[in-house]
Amino acid sequence: MILRPHQQRAVELMQLHRKGQILVPTGGGKTLKMIKDAMLQFHCGYSEQTIVIVAPRILLAEQLCSEFLEFITNASVMHIHSGETHHFSSTKPQEIVDWVVNTRGHKLIFTTYHSLERLQQTRLPVNTIYFDEAHNSVQRNFFPATEYFSHKADRCYFFTATPKHSLAVGKPGMNDVEVYGQVICNVPAPELVEGGYILPPKVLAKQLPMVKSGKIPADRDCDNLIETLDECGKDKVLICAKATKQITALMSETDFIQQLQDRGFSYLYITAKTGAIINGQKVNREVFFETLSAWGKDDNKKFVVLHHSILSEGINVSGLEGVIFMRSMDYIGISQTIGRVIRMHHDDAARIRSGELIPGDVDNYTKSFGLVVVPVFNKVGISTHQKIQAVVDTIFQQGQPAISVVKR
């Protein structure tokens, strides 16, 4: 495994601190830091090690498992969540205990914030625990188990691009150093841009015509999106919808699909209510994400992918060139969503590795920026555009994480 300089720096700091926060912009390769640290723990001659990886969603727990197992072959694997997996899985404390006790050698346990309390109930010893997208851990339902493992695990690390702090009495925040430790590594986004690891975002307010009062909302959304797609000129676009209802209305009450097809676009969407859909066909989530990944790598494929929140956080999607915000979000949602479109084009990454392209010379990249578009009409969208620009300035100009603060 070859680590980037900022990844190597983080891993070295983890060896010096038993607890702490690692702040890395989206696309900065935080998963490899966890994997390298786990490999060091498994190979440093200690007795059998139990390492726990906590993710915000079942889907992300499964993705992390696949990534870990690309490099780690000397550990048994268990999942603690309600999703389907090829590995042993249970949410019953006694079954978890039985598996751990009867399984010899190193162990990797993948779970979610929702199911972490099941592991807590077993009181089993944990050597190292990694909290992915750790801003989720401050939620009221999740914090007790987080606090427990912060104190009980031998080593404990919190990874996020978007830390969540609290100034409110009785509400958890990552500024609680007793639980979360200090920030032991903060990787500034400008360093990653200059190193040729991520791209800078470019934020545009797309001014749309005044909307007629009698216009049906779904038709208005369709017209706005098609005009925005035409003008932005990107082939692989993420659309953040206001709600599932907005997506289903676009599909069933307008000619949005026909307009996309006329322009050579395929379409995908995924919501908790509708499930995963590709070009009108319902598919399972595995097929959805495999297709999304394949289309992202295919330079000749044009597609739009619509969602409300499922794709905002953690999910690895290559190839996306632009995002259209149809709604506002909090700082965390904005930062995570922008992270979906600032990943390097695969040709640029290969040319940098070969020495053909200078890292950070974005003007000569095939893909030189991630486009972020906010449609604006009748004063709608102005505050969203300002909020997004403020987040981008904080992360990419000032080199600071976009910290979300709970004040009451």
Q: What is the pLDDT of residues 237-285, one digit of tens each?
A: 999 988 889 999 999 999 999 999 999 999 999 888 888 999 999 998 8
Question: Which of 340, 380, 73, 41 shows the shortest CA–CA distance to 208?
Answer: 380
Q: Tell whether 408 is covered by a domain.
A: no
Is there a single domain that holds both residue 166 and residue 18?
Answer: yes
Is there a single domain that holds both residue 198 and residue 117?
Answer: no
Would you state the pLDDT for residue 84?
Answer: 83
The residue among 187, 207, 230 that closes a domain is 187
Order of all β-strands in the sheet with 75-80: 88-89, 75-80, 106-112, 50-55, 128-131, 155-160, 19-23, 183-186
- Higher pLDDT: 378 or 366? It is 366
Report pLDDT digits (tens) over 297-334: 999 999 999 988 766 555 667 789 999 998 888 888 89
β partners of residue 23: 160, 186
Quote the tokens at residue 198: 């991520």
Is there a single domain that holds both residue 162 and residue 122?
Answer: yes
Is there a single domain that holds both residue 183 and residue 201?
Answer: no
Q: Tell whether 274 is covered by a domain.
A: yes
Is there a single domain that holds both residue 147 and residue 10?
Answer: yes
Q: Once rounded to an integer, what is the mean pLDDT over residues 12-21?
A: 97
Q: Which domain holds residue 346?
A: 193-403
Would you state the pLDDT for residue 85?
Answer: 86
Is there a single domain that holds both residue 295 and residue 197?
Answer: yes
**What is the rounded distance in angstroms from the CA atom of residue 357 to the CA atom of residue 156?**
38
Is there a single domain that holds both residue 377 and residue 277?
Answer: yes
The residue among 187, 211, 245 that closes a domain is 187
Total tally of structural domains belonging to the chain: 2
Is there a single domain that holds both residue 164 and residue 230?
Answer: no
Is there a single domain that holds both residue 334 and residue 348?
Answer: yes
User: String of b and e for 309-340 (b: at least 16 CB within 10 Å)?
Assistant: bbbbbbbbbbbbbbbbbbebbebbbbbbbbbb
Q: Tell whether 382 is covered by a domain.
A: yes
Is there a single domain that holds both residue 32 and residue 180?
Answer: yes
Q: Which of 7-16, 80-89, 323-332 has the highest mean pLDDT?
A: 7-16
Residue 53 has pLDDT above 90, yes or no: yes
Place of tokens 């498994």: 42
pTM: 0.89
Question: Which of 191, 201, 235, 189 shows the shortest CA–CA distance to 368?
Answer: 201
Kind and range of the H or E element at 192? helix 189-194
Q: Is the dihedral of CA 243, 245, 246, 247 positive or negative?
A: positive
Is there a single domain that holds both residue 176 and residue 112?
Answer: yes
Identify the weakest region by mean pLDDT among 157-171, 212-226, 310-324, 374-388.
Answer: 310-324
For 62-89, the DSSP string reads HHHHHHHHTT--SEEEEEESSS--SSEE
Domain containing residue 156: CATH number:
3.40.50.300
The residue among 187, 210, 227 that closes a domain is 187
- Higher pLDDT: 56 or 169? It is 56
Is there a single domain that holds both residue 82 and residue 29?
Answer: yes
Q: Which amino acid is at 263?
A: R
Q: Tell whether 70 is covered by a domain.
A: yes
Q: Which amino acid is at 107?
A: K
Residue 235 has pLDDT above 60, yes or no: yes
Contacts of 353 (CB under 8 A, 6+ apart): none
Report the number of secondary-structure helices (H) and strands (E) in the chain: 15, 18
